[in-house]
Amino acid sequence: MIALLLVPLVLPWVLPPLARRVVSRVRPDVALWTITTAAGALAVGVVACLGVLLLPLALTVPSVAALVHLVRPLPAGPAPLALGVSALSAGIVAVTGVAVVRQGRSEVARLRSAHGDVAHLPQVAGVCVLDDPRPDAYALPGLTGTGRVVVTSGMLRSLDPHEREVLLAHERAHLASRHHLFLAVAHLAGWCHPALAAVVPQVSFAAERAADEAAARATGDRLLAARAVGRAALATARVGGRPGGPVLAAAAVTGPVPARVKALLAQAPARRIAPAVLAMALLCGTAGASSLAGAVWLHRGVEIAQGEHPSD
């Protein structure tokens, strides 16, 4: 039955190709919700299964076994296999835990630094201008309240007035739709499993596409939106990207810009459910069912070890 608990650790490798299909075939806001939800659900399944797989090793400690009133060893299969898998799980949990803490603290520090850079600047309608010749613009989420749109003087000089409207509408859409929360879930899932880390670019791209569509609707001109995205990206590319910026601060020039411009030059995407979305739902359902079956097996094994049921 240990195999049931290994299935949710393998299934995340199926998500990246599905995510690429979803983000290219489904309306961006729908794709963003779908991919992020799937990544988060699979990450929860990974953490839960690793925790359960730890138990055979943990219950070999007399004090832990006494705590759950075991009167016999937990029937988890051949002892070398069970203890080997459990020890491997313990190592993965330790490494993952350290990585999550380090990455989380680093991102919080970057967010605090970004807020410190603009804390002294006045805001007009949630927008503040940073005196910096490098073209840049991003939606800075609030640490305790609402966020703000940060745009540099260099970016303002790179665009004409109509393109600036597109840029600001794009960044406001990031804040209004709380895209930083989707990015946070995706990054956290990626820190929990290497396959889920490959999904982060798809979540970022879907967020940028959703903001592009919102900006095009706000200005009523898809050609103007495409031109603004392209010119902002070219201006940023000439001087390089924003070094060390927070990954949760979505920027207008993030992701494969040519693909974003091509999508804006096409008709507005229709709402539809691609087969890849259904496959993604099936993937999450399989992971959940496997985790549940493993939990039922574990519960029965603990009851047997407690002497409540005779062993089979």
| pLDDT tens-digit map of 116-166 | 888 888 888 889 998 888 888 888 887 666 788 999 999 999 999 999 999
Quote the percentage of the chain above a pLDDT of 70: 76
Question: Average model confidence (pLDDT) for the chain?
Answer: 80
Instruction: Give the whole-angstrom CA distance, residue 85 versus residue 62.
Output: 20
Confidence of residue 3 (pLDDT cuts 50, 70, 90): low
Asked whether the beta carbons of 301 and 255 are under 8 A apart, the reply is no
Task: State the pLDDT at residue 182.
Answer: 94
* CA 250 to chain CA centroid, nearest Å: 13
Q: Name the 3-class secondary structure at 120.
A: coil
Cα separation, 104 vs 291, in Å, equals 27
**Are 129 and 156 contacting, i.e. CB atoms less than 8 angstroms apart?**
yes
Q: How would residue 113 be classed by pLDDT, with cut points 50, 70 and 90?
A: confident
**Measured distance CA(205)–CA(186) in Å, rounded:** 12
List the beta bridge partners of residue 148.
140
Count of positions (residues) in the chain: 312
Q: Is 137 in contact with 232 (CB distance < 8 Å)? A: yes
**Residue type for 256, please?**
P
- The whole-angstrom separation of Cα 300 and Cα 312 is 11
The whole-number pLDDT of residue 187 equals 93
Is 80 exceeded by the pLDDT of residue 55? Answer: no
Res 91: pLDDT: 79
CA dihedral 166, 171, 173, 178 (to 10 degrees): 170
138 forms beta bridges with 150, 251
**pLDDT surpasses 60 at 294:** yes
Rounded CA separation 193/198 (Å): 9
Which residue reads 């087969």 in tokens? 275
Among residues of the chain, what percentage have pLDDT more than 90? Answer: 29
C-alpha atoms less than 13 angstroms from C-alpha of 33 in its C-beta half-sphere: 6
Q: What is the pLDDT of residue 209?
A: 93
| 3-state DSSP assignment of residue 233 | helix
Q: What would the two tokens of residue 129 be? A: 């201008």
CA atoms within 13 A on the CB side of 248: 28
- Check: CB of residue 41 under 8 Å from CB of residue 287: yes
Give me the pLDDT at residue 77, please: 54
**CA-closest candidate to residue 213, choices 141, 36, 205, 278:** 205
Handedness of CA 303, 306, 308, 312 (dihedral sign): positive
